[in-house]
Amino acid sequence: MGGHDAGEVASRMAVDIFADSASRGVGALRAPGRKHSQLRAMASELVIDWTERANAAIYRRGGSGVGAPKSRMGTTLALAFFVSDFVVVGHVGDSRVYRMRGERIERLTDDHVVMAEAKRHAADPRPPRKRKFVTRALGTRSTVEPDVSLHEITPGDAFVLCSDGLTDLVTDEEILTLTRRAGVNRRLAVRSLIDLANKRGGPDNVTVVLAEVLDDVDEDADETDIMAIER
């Protein structure tokens, strides 16, 4: 997260903690005899628990002085946890999750930010620049409140998870257009989005994840045929 020490450490910690938590905790969802309503409630609770666990670990690490003395480590979160016929979206900060269905794109998260006009010297004729301040993040405080929502999924749905390095420069409609134009070449879709952001200046890191819901998954297919991730 920009403006904080060791942000790359915080983001890597979050990824590792979520991956480890999911690998150990997802088995509880597979217990036979669970009702659909129980499955939905349990999946949401797991995402909240994982988020709180990651936040606490990053907060402790920052307080220990790793990266800089008493550094304020922080990272945003955009998470999609696919279970059965629904997805749990977890969100903290200004990274986003989108769902594309047919020719429509829908943002599933609301940015946790406030906007302010950056002050300029009185002699500077240029208009004031808008600055964005994140109001929630992982690791900057001892507790965190993630936004968690459930959404139905159908074959053909595509989900884009991305940092603000993309959305500050690329519109929602452009995300939809470039993704659909790439067709089944998911890596091309991701690369096209990153290239467009960089072409427009790309002052921030650009991270994009594209995941698609398929009718059937070929067991011999490469993982990159199903999901594409690039920075």
Per residue in 99-108, pLDDT (tens digit) is: 999 999 999 9
Per residue in 8-44, pLDDT (tens digit) is: 889 999 999 999 999 888 888 887 888 888 999 999 9
Give CA separation, 143 vs 35, 71, 96, 98, in Å.
31, 17, 21, 26
* Residue 187 to residue 227: CA distance in whole angstroms: 8
The pLDDT of residue 226 is above 50: no
Three-class SS of 61-108:
HHHCCCCCCCCCCCECEEEEEEECCEEEEEEECCCEEEEEECCEEEEC
- Residue 75: pLDDT band (50, 70, 90) is very high
- Residue 128: pLDDT band (50, 70, 90) is low
* Residue 201 to residue 203: CA distance in whole angstroms: 6
* Burial of 69 (C-beta count, 10 Å sphere; 0-12/13-18/19+): exposed
What is residue 58's DSSP assignment?
A: H
Find the helix or strand (DSSP H, E) in which 151 lies.
strand 147-152
More confident residue, 183 or 67: 183
* Residue 209 to residue 197: CA distance in whole angstroms: 15
Helices (H) and strands (E) in the chain, counts: 5, 10
Place of tokens 């690329």: 170
Predicted model pTM: 0.85
* Residue 116 to residue 173: CA distance in whole angstroms: 25
> What is the 3-state composition of the chain as percent helix, strand, coil, each rounded to the nearest 5?
35, 25, 40
Per residue in 129-147, pLDDT (tens digit) is: 667 789 999 999 999 999 9
Token pair for 168:
């500050």
What is residue 131's DSSP assignment?
A: E
Give CA separation, 114 vs 40, 56, 130, in Å.
32, 24, 10
Q: Give mean pLDDT, residues 150-155.
A: 96
Q: Which residues pair with 34 in a beta bridge?
A: none
